[in-house]
Amino acid sequence: MTLREPQVLWLALLIPAALVFFVARERRRVRIARRLVSERLRGVANPSRTLRPWLAAFALLGCVIALAGPEAGFRVVPIEQRESNRVIVIDVSLSMDARDVGTSRLEAAKAIAKRVIEAQSGRVGLVIFESAAEVVSPLTSDGDAVEALLDSIQAGEVSNPGSDLSVALNAALRLAGGDPAQRGDIVLISDGEDQSSRLDDTIAKLTQRGVPVSTILVGTAGGSTIPRTEGGGVLLDDNGQVVTTYAHPEALQKIARATGGTFYANPFGEHALDSLAATGGTLKQKNVRVPIERYQWPLAFACVALFLGSLANRGAE
């Protein structure tokens, strides 16, 4: 027998004071009755009335024990949980500042990433990349914290111009594949521009490790210029020509197809990512021993004591 809240038992120290009060009250009633009521009407033939204060005290004791939450024995409860590690990888190269999707590609990527996080039932990590990758958040169950970090990232934040999908995927693989006991997958969000030279080697590594990569293209084939963050205007190349960036789905499609993931192009619809949410982890079942509450026992004792106290009150003035 154990108690869920043993500190409640301190209330039992008040019961002796309550018993003294009940006994004193009973004696006072008897003294008044002897002065004002005849012996025959007072019910002197019921000697059990002297037990009434004690029964009331025992009833209070039973209530205190019930409040303490007594527990005895265990029952086995099956619990299903989805275990998964999902790493979200976001392209933050300068081309993600292009506004060919109604807003900047990066803002659209953030919105998509938040939808993926909200649908994720396991742990989630966050990696951003240009020609180098940076882990913004390790795997965590705190999706709200990852969403807050998402709001703070900006294009060009890694300070390594370019776009290397291979570097990004290797950084994500180290997070997603770090726990072999749990399923891991990667969600890559980019406009598809890639200057990597070892993408095929990285894809082979992902396939060997069994880590699927779902890719999400943000951007259009028509392309767009890139606004400058300082000084206004648009981004120019070294020759003074306006830079136009186009979405390139080829590399993203190749990654998803080779690793067993899914490719999405501008999935801005409400249910466009439902199939991605459905792949979020492995469903596992485990049995948990839960203590059985036995508060009914002392509560029943208290009710019986109150009932007996009511019977002992027969013949009251």
Same domain, residue pair 57 and 97: no
State residue 311's pLDDT score.
80
Same domain, residue pair 308 and 193: no
Query: Does 169 or 175 have the greater pLDDT score?
Result: 169
Same domain, residue pair 303 and 260: no
Same domain, residue pair 201 and 236: yes
Burial class of 240 by CB neighbour count within 10 A (0 to 12, 13 to 18, 19+):
exposed
In the predicted model, is pLDDT for residue 63 greater than 70? yes
Same domain, residue pair 138 and 12: no
Same domain, residue pair 207 and 84: yes
Same domain, residue pair 102 and 43: no
Chain-wide mean pLDDT for the chain? 85
Same domain, residue pair 275 and 159: yes
Q: How many domains does the chain have?
A: 2
Give the whole-number percent of the chain exceeding pLDDT 70.
87
In the predicted model, is pLDDT for residue 293 greater than 80? yes
In Å, what is the CA distance from 45 to each residue of 24, 42, 48, 274, 301? 21, 9, 9, 80, 27
- pTM (2 decimals)? 0.63
Same domain, residue pair 247 and 166: yes
Q: 53-67, 262-276, 279-293: which range is least confident on average?
A: 279-293
Same domain, residue pair 56 and 100: no
Nearest to 304 by CA among 40, 4, 58, 7: 58
| Range of the structural domain that residue 213 is part of | 79-285
In the predicted model, is pLDDT for residue 282 greater than 80? no
Same domain, residue pair 11 and 160: no
Same domain, residue pair 105 and 173: yes
State residue 161's pLDDT score.
86
State residue 160's pLDDT score.
85
Inside any domain, residue 256 = yes
